[in-house]
Amino acid sequence: MRTLITNAAIVSMDDSIGDLSRGDILIDDGVIVAVGESIDAADAEVIDASTMIAMPGMVDTHRHTWQTALRGILADGNIPDYLRGIRLQMAPRYRVDDMYAGNYAGALDALNCGVTSIVDYCHNILDPDCAHAAVTGLRDAGIRGLYGHGLTPITTNTWSESKGGSDADSDPADLETRARLARSIRDEYFSSDGLLRFGIAPQELAIAPVATVQKEFALARELGARITMHANQVMVRQLFKDVEVLHEHSLLGDDLLLVHCTFNTDEEWRMLEGTGTMVSVCAETEMQMGMGYPAIAEVTRHTPGPSLGIDCVSGDSGDMISHARLVLQASRYRADEPGYQQWVAPQTMAWTTRDALRWLTINGAHAAGVGDLVGSLTPGKRADIVLLEMGGISQAGWNRNDPAGAIIAQAHAGCVDTVLVDGKVVKRGGVLVHVDLPGALRTLDESHEYLYDQMEQHGGFIPQPPIDIPLYRERA
């Protein structure tokens, strides 16, 4: 039950500990009990990390894990492509087996990349069995995180039919039916403490009336569920202002994690101040799909701080280190751009690799509602730890005096050698060891083949002519 990680370069993300060029970490019964330069624990299993960097497990605060079997299909897609191909064409064709496969293999992908906690935004619950399958997939994978139970009635309230928040002919699926399912899922799987916590993902204000969303927030708070919700991610300013609406109805709070907020107004950013509401920035999706520029600066100024999400694995990879590097460089450019307009060269660095690591760890854990448990290598916290192998030819020569900089500037998911979740080794020597990996791959392959067969039988990923999306077309 005791594990000793030795001789690692340590990035603790705890100011009282700091970084160590070489140090040890002692774990006992899933808890970090000591971090220091030399720890004596003769009875512990030893993990030699002499060529590695030890860091807290990363936290992905927004991932549609159920889309894993459609990985990369949106490599060149924008929001209309996503709505037509994923939400309208493929999502309704998902079986129970596909929901399980996506969440199981998708969570394993996260662990393989050093992501020990995810916020699973599960907004494709076609029937009760799909919800059970999604939760079971996460549990079988052994990941920590927040299961975000989606409340959108997929087959009856879609972007193609939405009147953008109008009360006319809204939400034909009965809320109480969906509420009963949410209660039963919470009671069956989340009645005691475990790696997973229960959350609610209300409907988007772009497609559901405020009164309905208000009731969904009330349900979440009745159930003690953390709330996560897309907000202001499309340029539909004439129609709605999500944060303003949430503010006006007293729905903002420290149990709320908003996603994107790329089109917040200045006034909306001010409304978030002091509420405790957090924001997940999903830069690759945002910049690819026409969802605006990642709002790292605004989130930093007006909220407890930004976290990062991969978002759509149907478009982007699960490599959070590379994602953080992209967000960091994009944020640096944006900070320097006003000077460029005046032909003034930047003299200081606006954002640092330490900032990017906070987005991945401390801030992510806070946003996911597990900041008391993980996010730093602090004695007393649970042992979610990642060891990055830096001894290969592509990392050799890295600056051991600045392991934090080395992680963001030089590493990537392929460097993830060892992963511990709650003190249990789930990846060792670059290989997942806690599951039947060939079996997991077969499960995902079967789902992939079925979904692509369905796609072919029903006119392709985006059947022609494309389904009209009036809300997006008329007001974009």
Calpha distance 222→465 (Å, rounded): 44
Q: Write out pLDDT tens, residues 312-323.
A: 999 999 999 999
Mean pLDDT of the chain: 93
Supply the pLDDT for residue 410.
97
Q: How far is CA 217 from the centre of its chain?
A: 21
pLDDT at 53 > cutoff 90:
yes
Q: Averaged over 194-223, what is the pLDDT?
A: 94
Instruction: Give the rounded percent of residues in the chain with a pLDDT score beyond 70.
Output: 94
Report angle CA 411, 417, 423 to the nearest 5 degrees: 120
pLDDT band at 475 (very low <50, low <70, confident <90, very high): low
pLDDT at 109 > cutoff 80:
yes
pLDDT band at 277 (very low <50, low <70, confident <90, very high): very high
Calpha distance 328→358 (Å, rounded): 11
| 8 A C-beta contact, residue 252 and residue 258 | no
pLDDT at 476 > cutoff 60:
no
| 8 A C-beta contact, residue 94 and residue 65 | no
pLDDT at 174 > cutoff 70:
yes
Select from 328, 310, 329 the least CA-distant residue to 320: 310
Q: Write out pLDDT tens, residues 256-271.
A: 999 999 999 999 999 9
Instruction: Give the rounded percent of residues in the chain with a pLDDT score beyond 90.
Output: 87
Q: With the C-alpha atoms ordered 216, 137, 324, 76, is the resulting torsion angle positive or negative?
A: negative
| Segments making up each domain of the chain, as ranges | 2-56+376-432, 58-358
| 2-56+376-432 to CATH, choices 2.40.30.10, 3.40.50.300, 2.30.40.10, 2.30.30.30 | 2.30.40.10
The pair of structure tokens assigned to 422 is 């709650």
Q: Assign a CATH topology to domain 58-358.
A: TIM Barrel (3.20.20)
pLDDT band at 189 (very low <50, low <70, confident <90, very high): very high
Q: Averaged over 463-471, what is the pLDDT?
A: 85
Supply the pLDDT for residue 171.
42
pLDDT at 238 > cutoff 60:
no
Supply the pLDDT for residue 231.
95
Q: Write out pLDDT tens, residues 121-172.
A: 999 998 899 999 999 999 999 999 999 999 988 766 555 544 444 444 444 4
pLDDT at 332 > cutoff 70:
yes
The pair of structure tokens assigned to 124 is 């494709």
Q: Write out pLDDT tens, residues 364-383.
A: 999 999 999 999 999 999 99
Supply the pLDDT for residue 240.
65
